Structure 1
Amino acid sequence: MAGTNPQRDAVLGGPAIILIEPQLGENIGTCARAMLNCGLTDLRLVRPRDGWPSSSARASASGADLVLDNARLFDRTEDAIADLSQVFATTARNRGMIKRIMTPREAASEMRAQSSAGLATGVLFGPERTGLFNDDLALADTSLTVPLNPAFSSLNLAQAVLIIGYEWYQTGDVAPGRYLHTGATRPANKEELVNLFSHLEEELENSRFFSSPGKKPSMIRSIRNCFQRMDMTEQEVRTFHGIISALTGRKRSTPKE
């Protein structure tokens, strides 16, 4: 299912994806493809079996060259996670270790909170055949398990990366299709909204709407909050300027673009 559009803004960043001893270049490539679909760009490889760089990985990436071009190679898992504040380990078994267990959705919310605080996070994936080694699992803070059919829970490497990447992407509230955008207008920016607030508040002041000075700050916050929830477009802001001017009988100069 193709849906690439280089003319649209890219959403990039996110937690590091660390592949430990991936067996095939093709699997690295499909992981890179899954990552870029979800805006993840930090790929780290620990001892890939077929070496690096890999032409088979690039062929399987289907254009996710940005991820492969910036992939970093490490000899040890410890080095690959050295700059991370929190590490999640993908595993279907606890291996006798006591760790927090999270679903991808829970982990994504926590990683997003860490990222907002300026802290780096990452997710460990083990070899395709065996999964994570115990020594690598011991380096993680949290076990990450995908809740699937208990009688058949078998994901390939790229599928696992995609599930986690998708949950991360959803926490950013940037899912396509949330708004219908025809190109005739665009969402109003904060400068335009503040200009509208100033216009409205000026006229409310002139009409003595703020009869209680002590309540004025909270009333202004309530008015602004109401408009913020409207997700106004640039054209809607202009319309409201016109409404205010019509009601007050005073024209106002058009806000600067």
Structure 2
Amino acid sequence: MTDAPSKPVFVLVRPQMGENIGASARAMLNFGLDRMRLVDPRDGWPNPRAVAMASGAAGRVLDHAGVFPGVAEAIADCQMVFATTARGRELSKPVMTPEAAMRQARALIGQGARVAVLFGPERTGLENADLEGAGALISVPVNPEFPSLNLGQAVLLSAYEWSRAGFDGPEVVAGPGTEMATGLERDHLARHFEDDLERVGYFFPETKAEGMKANLRQMWGRLGLTRQDVQTLHGALRQLARRRDGDA
């Protein structure tokens, strides 16, 4: 893995309006952030309305934005993912303010982790399936009678808190074996578990199988697994499979 970047990546999931993508780029650059990824933008990419709204220097954020078909691909190289949402209260994940989340992001990046922040589409926000790979949720304490934020506003708040957190060095020095697992590594572990559990008939009845798998994937996202943890669990599963197959 190459050296981890010193800033988080902001991931706009299924953004609908080019103007909001451009506004998000401006908000990011206002506070020194320039790493944007787009997941399946509704109107395709590149988008001239996004470029017009970004105006000037912020256009470089769009020039280097990566485009991905799904959330899993966009966060595959990230060890920690925060997801901004007013939904998902039924998910067993920590819920943080933007201030607390960006402080934690600073600390994790100081330890060498790759960090992503997810932002949902304008009309619906992130879906529960989008949240499965997140380790924590970000909820803005706004008026409960009108909790909706524009995409650009949500990006601005998080970027501002990132800047305000300020950071001169890592708060914790990472020791051997503490490098956090990436989203791709957690996904491989989840698939390994699901395949083994499928073989022994764990996902029963069939009508509940998808919900059971979703619960497991949410668990992997919030556990904060290290790469060593993932390797250990893969090894344990392989050993259990050998014992099972040998006893059969």
Give yes or no for TM over 0.5. Answer: yes
Deviation (angstroms), 1:151: 2.2
Instruction: Give runs of aligned pairs for residues 136-175 of structure 1, distance below 5 A.
Output: 136-172=130-166
Q: 1:124 aligns with which of 110, 118, 136?
A: 118
Q: Secondary structure at the match of 1:122?
A: strand
Deviation (angstroms), 1:14: 1.9
Amino acid at match of 1:78: A
Amino acid at match of 1:97: L
Deviation (angstroms), 1:95: 4.5
Q: Secondary structure at the match of 2:16?
A: coil
Q: Sequence identity, in percent?
A: 54
Q: 2:66 aligns with which of 54, 72, 82?
A: 72
Q: 1:25 aligns with which of 18, 26, 29?
A: 18
| Separation in structure 1 between the aligned mates of residue 76 and residue 138 of structure 2, nearest angstrom | 20
| Deviation string, structure 1 residues 119-158 (Cα, Å, up to 9, x no partner) | 1101111111000011111111101001112222221000
Aligned twin of 1:43: 36
Q: Does 1:113 align with 2:101?
A: no
Greater helix fraction, Structure 1 or Structure 2 = 2
8 Å CA contact retained: 1:29, 1:56: yes
| Deviation string, structure 1 residues 146-171 (Cα, Å, up to 9, x no partner) | 11122222210000000000000011
Aligned twin of 1:4: none
Aligned twin of 1:97: 91
Amino acid at match of 1:135: A
- Structure 1 residues 154, 166: closer, same or farther in 2, change over 3 A? same
Q: Does 1:34 align with 2:27?
A: yes
Q: Does 1:56 align with 2:49?
A: yes
Indicate the RMSD between aligned Cα atoms, in angstroms.
1.5
Q: Does 1:133 align with 2:103?
A: no
| Deviation string, structure 1 residues 166-188 (Cα, Å, up to 9, x no partner) | 000011169xxxxxxxxxxxxxx
8 Å CA contact retained: 2:88, 2:128: no
**Bigger radius of gyration among the two:** 1
| Deviation string, structure 1 residues 26-71 (Cα, Å, up to 9, x no partner) | 1110000011001111100000000001111000012201201110
Amino acid at match of 2:156: L
Instruction: Give runs of aligned pairs for residues 163-242 of structure 1, distance below 5 A.
Output: 163-172=157-166
| Separation in structure 2 between the aligned mates of residue 79 and residue 94 of structure 1, nearest angstrom | 21
Deviation (angstroms), 1:80: 0.3
Q: Secondary structure at the match of 1:49?
A: coil
| Separation in structure 1 between the aligned mates of residue 115 and residue 145 of structure 2, nearest angstrom | 31
| Separation in structure 1 between the aligned mates of residue 6 and residue 24 of structure 2, nearest angstrom | 15
* Structure 2: unaligned runs, 5 residues or longer: 169-248
Amino acid at match of 1:137: L
